[in-house]
Amino acid sequence: MQQGLLQKLSLDNRGYSLIELLLVLTIVMMISSSAVYFNNRYIENRTFDLFYNQLKLDVAHIQLIALTEEKYIKLVFESEGSRYVARKTLFDSVFERKLPPGYRWSSSSTINEISFHPNGTIVKFGTLAFITPDGIKTVRVFIGKGRMILE
- For 21-50, the pLDDT digits (tens) are 888 889 888 888 777 777 777 777 788 888
User: What is the mean pLDDT of the segment spanning 83-98?
Assistant: 88
Q: Give me the residues paired with residue 131 across strands.
A: 104, 136
The reported pLDDT for the residue numbered 69 is 92
Secondary structure class of 131 (helix, strand, coil):
strand
Q: How far apart are CA 108 and CA 89, in angstroms?
A: 25
Domains present along the chain, CATH in parentheses: 52-150 (3.55.40.10)
The reported pLDDT for the residue numbered 2 is 54
78, 93 contact by CB (below 8 A)? no
DSSP category for residue 122 = B
108-136 pLDDT, tens per residue?
889 988 888 888 888 888 888 998 888 88
With the CA atoms of 81, 86, 89 and 94 taken in that order, what torsion angle do they form, in degrees rounded to the nearest 10?
-130
The reported pLDDT for the residue numbered 81 is 82
State yes or no: pLDDT of 1 exceeds 70: no
